[in-house]
Amino acid sequence: MHKTIYEKNLAAIESKDHELGQLLKDIQTNKDFEVFLRNDTSKDVDIVDVRDNSLINLSNEQQKQMLEDLEKYDNYRSLYFFGLGDSLIYQKLLINPKHRTIMVFEPELEVIYIALNLFDLSEYIANNRLRIKLSSSLNESNINFWLDEKSKSYFKSYTLNIYSSYYDKYSQEIVRINKVILHTFKQMLHHQGDSLEDTLNGFKNSTNRILDMLKTPSLSRVVSAIGKRKNIVLVSTGPSLHKQLPQLKKVMNNITIMCADASLPILAKEGIQPDIVLSMERGSLTAKFYEQTSREFQKDTVVLLATVCHEDIFKNIQSDKLSIFMRADKHNQILGFDEWGYLGGGMSCANYLYNFFMNSQIENLVFIGQDLAYGKDGSSHSKNHVLGETEISTDKMVGEIEAYGGRGTVKTMKYWHIFLKDFAFQIKYANEHLHKKTYNATEGGARIPGTIEIPFKEFCEKYIEMDNPKEEIVLEYPTKEEIQVSVQKYMKKKKEIIQIAKSTQKKAQKLFKKIEMFLDKIKDYNQEEMSNVNMKEIEKIYNNIEEVRSKYESKAFQNIFSTLLASYINHLEFDILNINTMRENTKEAIKLKKINFIKVHYEWSYRLFMSLDKIVEILGDRSKICVNRVK
């Protein structure tokens, strides 16, 4: 049967945004808006808000002017607009193939309904070139599902355009949407990291631990050993934790307990032995959490230890159940040891533990001590925290967010807010795709979107079977034969990685020298110097850059090195993407754009060959650190 324009558009919308599709299905006809034809053609209409008789869409003359004003964005990959109108302007913009994505936020559901009835947008929607979002449904929890990574990379060229003066009445919503998008860009930059030294220290730790890792039970074996369990409690070190410990002690033999490493000494003081503890930091400070607990307390706890962890942490672990795992970084995934990875999902131990829960067969998780906010007394951590109850002073505070239970607001700091957003993203996925439930029994701190809030005592009474003791987690270690096969596989892969690094490093170093000689001619970057440089010379250097970039951008290179280089090179990559958006409407503009492109690659090529040199050095070095508990 032949589909109408609306049916085709609705099917495309539903495939991309199920929630919006369902809302549109409920509309039988438009009530708040009227559509008037001009010149008896559906391609020439007026949409009027009958509530105040204001006109939404642009006249032909206004459309023409708007398209002229937007010509300065000819090379922009992504464009952002507030207001859909009749959508005709976006169809005209999408004629330009360089506009890979146009994102439109519309505050009125009926306007989306009307636009989808007027024009066939289904192909644009289906291939993600036109993304229409009901603005009220966009928030910091779901924007990562909607905004693709490539669009985020062009953040330096971001601007939110307003479709017409009709939308001036939505100024508060425009400001909110703008803040959500900008916050997403900032969060992306935080995840990039800001220190090559820290990144390479972690890489060195990880490289030195891989062979030890292959001797320990893999994450998949840990998950199998845990098996199907109804509930697990995730213990964090927020100010509210102390009040939950008496209740936790009552049920500790009947519920599986996992905790962030900082919680370990706190639980030890109360005689509560966790089943699982996790460490994932590259710094040595974490070692204190294991120093403060005895061999007797640690020995039966499964310790999940990331390969990046500092050698002091390895030295202080006394557990008989050690599993070394890899974090969810590309340079780990390329090794092919999927059994031992990959945990991620955020920047904290608790985020990693939640990721572990997502990959397990456990049905429900309950948070305690997950405040992500300061206590009323200004404390940042629970009583008996090794580093002190006020380890993070209130001068780190950045603002207020919604409190647990919706009871007002609480004060938070930058990184807790990032952890919170990471949790919201993880929990949304677990709810919708894994059908796992997440309860928040912290009874304090911040509200965590997607969780079911419940007092801890009530959760225990409702969901924990007191006459059913939990099973011990018994781990299976790899055999000598399995270890030998894995070691041989790793050594072969490491050799391949070193070869790729050396080859690219050599090309980048040559490129750096060529650019240095070229830039000597335009030191002052003035008009006279610019005119003395001919396009033939510019094109030659430009092509040299493209040759090295093709190797850098190759899947083989990016899969290994992208996360290692992110903190050192990505901010230059963002500058390069921004240069790519410059117009090429005159010969002078083309020349200036290419010179800017060359100039930024001077620093880029230097950083690339220097960082690869350090990576090769690390891959050839193995520290002699013994992990005593590896069987």
pLDDT of 560-609, one tens digit each? 999 899 888 988 999 999 999 998 888 888 888 999 999 999 999 999 99
pLDDT of 624 > 70? The answer is no
Q: Is residue 475 part of a domain?
A: no
Residue 409 and residue 279 in one domain: yes
Residue 144 and residue 211 in one domain: no
Alpha-carbon distance values, 587 to 17, 69, 164, 533 (Å):
43, 21, 34, 13
Residue 530 has what pLDDT?
62
Alpha carbons 15 and 7: distance in angstroms, whole number? 12
Kindly give the pairing relationship between strand 321-327 and strand 302-306.
parallel
pLDDT level of residue 622 (50, 70, 90 thresholds): very low
Residue 529 has what pLDDT?
61
Domain that holds residue 152: 5-192
Q: Is residue 30 part of a domain?
A: yes
Cβ neighbours of residue 205 under 8 Å, at least 6 residues apart?
282, 307, 308, 309, 310, 311
Task: Phi first, then psi: give them for residue 10, nearest 5 degrees.
Answer: -65, -40
pLDDT digits (tens, 9 = 90+) for 44-86: 788 999 999 999 988 889 999 999 999 999 999 999 999 999 9
pLDDT of 146 > 90? The answer is no
% pLDDT > 90, the chain: 69
Residue 398 and residue 508 in one domain: no
Q: What is the mean pLDDT of residues 229-253?
A: 96
Q: What is the mean pLDDT of residues 216-230?
A: 96
Q: What is the mean pLDDT of residues 270-297?
A: 90
Examine the fold and report which residue of 163, 192, 221 is the final residue of a domain before the chain moves on.
192
Q: Is residue 624 part of a domain?
A: no
Query: b or e along 365-381 (b: 16 or more beta carbons within 10 Å of the residue's beta carbon)?
Result: bbbbbbbbbbbeeebbb
Q: Is residue 106 part of a domain?
A: yes
pLDDT of 234 > 80? The answer is yes
Alpha carbons 59 and 525: distance in angstroms, whole number? 44
Q: Does residue 463 have a cis peptide bond before it, meaning omega lies within 30 degrees of 0? A: no
In a 13 Å sphere around the CA of 114, the CA atoms on its Cβ side amount to: 28
Q: How many domains does the chain have?
A: 3
pLDDT of 621 > 70? The answer is no
The end-to-end CA distance of the chain, in Å, is 66
pLDDT of 189 > 90? The answer is no
Examine the fold and report which residue of 141, 163, 192 is the final residue of a domain before the chain moves on.
192
pLDDT level of residue 194 (50, 70, 90 thresholds): low
Residue 43 and residue 169 in one domain: yes
Residue 450 and residue 544 in one domain: no
Alpha carbons 542 and 598: distance in angstroms, whole number? 7
Q: Is residue 627 part of a domain?
A: no
Q: Is residue 264 part of a domain?
A: yes
Alpha carbons 545 and 525: distance in angstroms, whole number? 20
Total-model pTM? 0.76
Residue 342 and residue 362 in one domain: yes
pLDDT level of residue 495 (50, 70, 90 thresholds): very high
Residue 427 and residue 530 in one domain: no
Cβ neighbours of residue 626 under 8 Å, at least 6 residues apart?
none
Q: Is residue 240 part of a domain?
A: yes
Average pLDDT, the chain: 90
Residue 585 has what pLDDT?
86
Q: Is residue 631 part of a domain?
A: no
Task: Phi first, then psi: give them for residue 231, nearest 5 degrees.
Answer: -135, 150
Residue 623 has what pLDDT?
45
Alpha carbons 335 and 329: distance in angstroms, whole number? 11
Angle, alpha carbons 127-128-131 (nearest 5°): 140
Strand, coil or helix: what is 105? strand
Q: Which two structure tokens, joined as six digits, stand for 17?
A: 């945004």
pLDDT of 393 > 80? The answer is no
Residue 320 and residue 413 in one domain: yes
Residue 184 and residue 203 in one domain: no
pLDDT of 424 > 50? The answer is yes
Alpha carbons 351 and 189: distance in angstroms, whole number? 18
Residue 600 has what pLDDT?
94
Residue 38 and residue 17 in one domain: yes
